[in-house]
Amino acid sequence: MHDIQYSLTSRQPGTHIFNVSLTIAKPDPSGQILSLPNWIPGSYMIRDFSRNIISLQARSGDRKLAVQKLDKSSWRCEPTSGPLVLDYEVYAWDLSVRAAHLDETHGYFNGTSVFLCAQGQEGKPHVVELVRPAHPAALAWRVATALPELDAARYGFGRYIAADYDELIDHPVEMADFTLASFEACGVPHDVVITGRHRADMKRLVADLKCVCETQIRFFGEPAPFDRYIFQIMVVGNGYGGLEHRASTSLLCSRDDLPGSGEPQGNPGERYKTFLGLASHEYFHSWNVKRIKPAEFLPYDLRSESHTTLLWAFEGFTSYYDDLMLVRAGLISVNAYLELLGQQITRHLRTPGRFRQSVADSSFDAWTKYYKQDENSPNRIVSYYIKGSLVALCLDLKLRQLSDDRVSLDDVMRLLWERFGKVQKGVAEDDIRLLAEELSGADLRDFFALMLNSTEELPLQQLLEAQGLRYVLRPADSQSDTGGKPGQEPRAPRAVLGAKWIAGDGGASLQFVFDGGAAQAAGMSAGDIVVAVDGLRANATNLEKLLAAFAVGEAVEIHAFRRDELMRFRVLLGAAPADTCALLVPEDEAVKRLLERWTGNKA
């Protein structure tokens, strides 16, 4: 008999309601307190999962107990000596990797959405009985979760057990008639579980994921820190997202992101490459953030915001290694990798907010800024994912430069794993710099301060060129030019508005108006719907072409609706800035040797 036992089912999956019972054998005699997390680790925003609890009753034997609500996400039960049972309903209709979703086709949940925490008893083993819903559609369902089985068969309904509450909520559960494929990576069993209609080439998917996993396990050193791993994939028409866990990841992707029978051999197509990058990213988190953690996350405080200035290391470094692991695994070419890097630099250079916010501040304020973006975000914030990955690139190149290529960021990561991850010691603000200094013998205080605490440009060009690579900047060819490639030959500068738009309400709806651009100077604003340029009808598709007919510096009349009122602007068009980056490899033996050591592949 275990002290904490949940039973979870759904009496009517079509209502999107999970029915949960929690039995606490030894409740707090002064009145057991229960609570639900307000956020889920890995996604730094207060989400108030408790708003989806739509009923809650407590009983002891046949006796109904009073329950007092203490705040938005905690309750206190009337004192009782006997076992305390809570019966509650959870509404589950959030198709993301962060919450819970249930209908007749599947049931998915994170423990943070469905498992009330018995305060004071978090450290005890937690048992969960998953009961097959009594609905004909659920007859074919199986269960995919990395929660250890207590008496359930693998992929079966039945009882599972977690060592404590922290573990309980770190193993999401998928229940469906899913596609299942398995492989071993360095001796560890891995499952690929896909829910949703798809025609993916499972052989290709499994072969490629196996390469990614083996490359990463060998990077940190065997054995892997888990004894099994699951890629839980939800396939939809249009979606993208991932969340890391200690022995699994939940991924949301579009049907077309998975490799079909037409997927080219060798280098993957754009969409599949993005999917592999996402899978690689979440897998890398198994070490970097699930085990190597900021000191502030040991333990997590799931009641309120938990601020750390280190997300540039946990999300940024992971974003650096996700694509790098694809090239090291031999799944993409060195040139394809350099193209991805050029695109990442391009994204950064198109963010005016990099001059307004440091990456350490971006980390700290993730809760209210990065996770709550609006029309002005590009002007005021910098992404700790993107800039963080470029900080990783700079640090990697700097360490190679200082040590004649004997030391790299790889060594820093492995030392983080040895000294922090393996022994569950939290990483403090300066620890990464101290490791880099220890490995290189150099004083890196100014270098780190510049990259992390200032809004100065990163020394990307200088460091890349010191290694012999060519760093080329040019104006974008069009709004859809994502960079990474040399682009067309130089010609007359292109006239631009200094704004980004999407189709909307009969015109081109301005999504972002960039600081210092022509649109801003003319008084245009995000949300304006451009309907005419120089008296000619404009829409999202032709706006770029209409503007291209003008010269840089020329004045043009633009009509736009704001709050349904027609407004007229006189815009002095600007020149497209040189914000589009490509990294080129000259014919040079030293550069080839660097690329071989860096990417593990011949250029």
Span 157-196, contacts to Zn ion by CB under 5 A: none
Q: Which two tokens stand for residue 582?
A: 């490509």
Smallest separation (angstroms) from Zn ion to the CB of 322 = 8
Smallest separation (angstroms) from Zn ion to the CB of 294 = 13
Q: Count Cα neighbours of 529 within 13 Å in the Cβ-side half-sphere.
A: 12
Query: Toward Zn ion, which CB reaches closer, 97 or 258?
Result: 97
Smallest separation (angstroms) from Zn ion to the CB of 282 = 7
Query: Toward Zn ion, which CB reaches closer, 315 or 339?
Result: 315
Query: Toward Zn ion, which CB reaches closer, 36 or 341?
Result: 341
Query: Toward Zn ion, which CB reaches closer, 315 or 579?
Result: 315
Per-position x/- string for 331-360, each x denoting binding to Zn ion as judged by CB under 5 A, each - no binding: ------------------------------
Measured between alpha carbons, how far is 506 from 583 in angstroms, rounded to an integer?
39
Query: Toward Zn ion, which CB reaches closer, 94 or 315?
Result: 315
Smallest separation (angstroms) from Zn ion to the CB of 416 = 16
Q: How do strand 229-236 and strand 248-254 relate by DSSP bridges?
A: parallel
Smallest separation (angstroms) from Zn ion to the CB of 321 = 11
Span 264-323, contacts to Zn ion by CB under 5 A: 315
Q: Which residues are 170's β-sheet partners? A: none
Per-position x/- string for 131-150, each x denoting binding to Zn ion as judged by CB under 5 A, each - no binding: --------------------
> Rg of the chain's alpha carbons, rounded to an integer?
26
Closest residue to Zn ion using C-beta atoms: 315
Q: Which helix (H) or strand (E) holds 388?
A: helix 386-402
Smallest separation (angstroms) from Zn ion to the CB of 230 = 17
Strand ranges (E), 385-428: none
Smallest separation (angstroms) from Zn ion to the CB of 25 = 38
Query: Toward Zn ion, which CB reaches closer, 315 or 411?
Result: 315
Query: Toward Zn ion, which CB reaches closer, 10 or 288?
Result: 288
Smallest separation (angstroms) from Zn ion to the CB of 283 = 10
- Counting residues that bind Zn ion (by CB under 5 A) gives 1
Q: Which two tokens stand for residue 215?
A: 């490359």
Smallest separation (angstroms) from Zn ion to the CB of 285 = 6
Query: Toward Zn ion, which CB reaches closer, 319 or 346?
Result: 319
Smallest separation (angstroms) from Zn ion to the CB of 371 = 13
Smallest separation (angstroms) from Zn ion to the CB of 118 = 30
The DSSP line for 185-251 is ETTEEEEEEEESS----HHHHHHHHHHHHHHHHHHH-SSPSSS-EEEEEEEESS--EEEE-SSEEEE
Query: Toward Zn ion, which CB reaches closer, 6 or 283?
Result: 283
Kindly give the interhelix angle for 334-349 and 317-328, rounded to the nearest 10 degrees.
160
Smallest separation (angstroms) from Zn ion to the CB of 64 = 45
Query: Toward Zn ion, which CB reaches closer, 22 or 212?
Result: 212
3 state DSSP class of 182: strand
Measured between alpha carbons, how far is 362 from 272 in angstroms, rounded to an integer?
30
Q: Which of 229, 245, 332, 177 is nearest to 41 (CA)?
A: 245
3 state DSSP class of 558: strand
Span 426-485, contacts to Zn ion by CB under 5 A: none
Measured between alpha carbons, how far is 336 from 273 in angstroms, rounded to an integer?
10
Q: Which of 205, 147, 136 is nearest to 174 (CA)?
A: 147
Query: Toward Zn ion, which CB reaches closer, 322 or 410?
Result: 322
Please state, as a whole number, how many other Cβ atoms lie within 10 Å of the Cβ of residue 477: 14
Alpha carbon dihedral 463, 464, 467, 469, in 10-degree steps, equals -160
Query: Toward Zn ion, which CB reaches closer, 290 or 494?
Result: 290
Q: Which of 307, 308, 314 is nearest to 287 (CA)?
A: 314
Q: Which residues contact 328 (CB under 8 A, 6 or more apart)?
A: 215, 219, 599, 600, 601
Structure letter (DSSP) for residue 59: E
**Interface ranges with Zn ion (CB under 5 A):** 315
